[in-house]
Structure 1
Amino acid sequence: MTRTHTTVIALVAVVALVMGLTVYKALNRPNQLDPARLLDAGIVQLPQSRELPALTLTNQDGQSQAVDALTGRWTLLFFGYTFCPDICPTTLAELRQLQGLLSEEDRQRLQVVMVTVDPARDTPEQLKQYLGFFDAGFRGLTGELDQIQALSGRVGIPFIPGNESLPNYTVDHSGNLALLGPDGRQQGFIRAPLKVQKLAEALPALLASQP
C-alpha cells in the first residue's frame, strides 16, 4: 500500500468520525424539540399560530396592557380569579413549583399572566395582593368583562361568567393555559391538570426555540 493510499484512508476515517459525532450530537441534544415529548407533558402546539385581539386590559399595577403586546418572552396565560376555591390556587402553586424546577435562564424566558374571569371583584389591587401570596413574579390583568371574554374566546379557553347577584358566587372556568410565543402570538395550549415534572423537562427546548 502506497503512502498516498494510506493518507486517503486516514482522511476518510477522520471525515467519517467527524460526521458520526455530528449526527450523534444532533440526535442527542437535550434541548431538541420533540413533539411527542411535548404532548406527553401536556403541551399542544397549534398547526398555525393565532394572532391575539387588539384590546387593552389593566395590569395589577393599574397600568394599561395591550394583550397583543405581550412579547419578548414566552407567556403562560391563565384565566382564573382570586375568589376561586380550588383550580386557581392549585394551578398557581403548581406554576410556582414549575419555576423552581427551571434554570435561571429558562425562568427569564417565561412569564405567567393571570387574566381574571371575575373583573367585578378582581380590581388591580386585589390581583396584586393575591398574586403576591405566591411570591413568584406572576402578573395579573383585569378589565371589562366583554373584552376578557373576547380574549378567552380567541385563545380557545372560554368561561361562564358568575351570577353577581348571588353572594359568594363562583365562575365556571378551565385550568388550561394558553401558550404565547415571544412574538405575542398564541402557539398552543398546556392542558390541565398540569404535569409539573414533565413540563420542567420538556419546556426548556421550547423556550429556547423561536416560534
Structure 2
Amino acid sequence: MTRLQKTVLILVAVIAAVIGLTFSKVLNSPRQADPAQLLEAGIVLLPQARPLPPVSLTDQDGQAVALQSLTGKWSLVFFGYTFCPDICPTTLAQLRQLEGLLPPATRERLQVVMVSVDPQRDTPAQLKQYLAFFDPDYRGLTGELESIQQLASALGIPFIPGDTGRENYTVDHSGNLALLGPDGTQRGFVRAPLDVARLAERLPQLLGQP
C-alpha cells in the first residue's frame, strides 16, 4: 500500500468518525419544540423570557410565597376565583383532565397554580377547599389586590376587580394561562379555550426542555 493510499484511508476513517459523532449528537439531543405545532395547541411562546415582579402572596396553607420561588417545575398559572360560575370550574376540570393524559415524567415537571382575583372572599382556607375538589396538589395564591393586579399585568393577563359592595358580585377575568419555565420566568401563554387533546400531545415536547 502506497503512502498516498494510507493517507486516504486515514482521512476516510477520520471523516467517518466525525460524521458518526455528529449523528449521535443529533439523535441523542432533546428535540426542540416546534413553535408552529405549539401554536396549534394554543401555546404561544414569548420571544424572550420575562422575569416576574417582586410580589409576595399567601398560599392555600397560609404561608407567604415569593413569586420568584415558583421554580424547579414548569407552571401553568391561572387567574380565577372560587365563586366563579363558569370559566374557573371548567378550566380547572380541563387541567385535571389534561394531567390524566400526560405521561408520568411530564406530570412530574408540571404544576398548576391558581391566583385569586377575588381576595376579598378567597381566603387561604377557601382556596384550599375549592382546589381540593379538582386536585389537592394544585397551588392556590391570594393576597393584597394591588399585588395580584401587579402580577396579572406583568404576565399579560389583566382582570377587572369586582364591585365588593354588591352581593354575589362577579369578577371579569381571562381564561388564558401564563406559562412559566422552571427558572421562574414567563415563557409564554396558553390560550383559552383549552384544547386538552392537543395540549396533551405538545406539552411533553415543550416540558422536556430546560
TM-score interval (norm. to shorter): 0.7 to 0.9
Distance 1:111 1:20 in 2: 36
**Amino acid paired to 2:87:** I
Identify if the C-alpha distance between structure 1 residues 16 and 52 changes in structure 2 by more than 3 Å, giving closer, same or farther: closer
Structure 2's unaligned 5+ residue stretches are none
Distance 2:129 2:86 in 1: 18
Contact 1:113 1:141 in 2 (8 A): yes
Distance 2:183 2:82 in 1: 28
Distance 1:104 1:137 in 2: 15
Query: Partner of 1:77 in structure 2?
Result: 77
Distance 2:21 2:68 in 1: 44
- Counting aligned pairs with the same residue, the percent is 62
Q: Is 1:119 aligned to 2:80, yes or no?
A: no
Identify if the C-alpha distance between structure 1 residues 61 and 136 changes in structure 2 by more than 3 Å, giving closer, same or farther: closer
Query: Partner of 2:68 in structure 1?
Result: 68
Residue 20 of structure 1: CA displacement?
A: 10
1:30-109 equivalence runs, <5 A: 31-109=31-109
**Amino acid paired to 1:66:** A
Write out per-residue CA displacement over residues 146-198 of structure 1, whole angstroms, 9 at most, x where no aligned residue: 00000000000000000111111100000000001111111110100011111
Contact 1:80 1:117 in 2 (8 A): yes
Q: TM-score, normalised by structure 2?
A: 0.88
Distance 2:152 2:143 in 1: 13
Distance 1:126 1:206 in 2: 33
Structure 1's unaligned 5+ residue stretches are none
Write out per-residue CA displacement over residues 50-88 of structure 1, whole angstroms, 9 at most, x where no aligned residue: 111111100000000001221111000100000000000
1:131-142 equivalence runs, <5 A: 131-135=131-135, 137-142=137-142
Write out per-residue CA displacement over residues 31-64 of structure 1, whole angstroms, 9 at most, x where no aligned residue: 5411111111111111111111111100000000
Distance 1:31 1:84 in 2: 39
Distance 2:186 2:22 in 1: 38
Secondary structure, aligned partner of 1:140: strand
Secondary structure, aligned partner of 1:98: helix
Distance 2:165 2:24 in 1: 65
Distance 1:136 1:196 in 2: 20
Q: Which runs of 4+ in 1 moved over 3 A?
A: 14-26, 29-32
What is the aligned-residue RMSD (CA, Å)? 2.5
Number of aligned residue pairs: 206
Distance 2:27 2:54 in 1: 43
Residue 11 of structure 1: CA displacement?
A: 6.5
Distance 1:209 1:16 in 2: 26
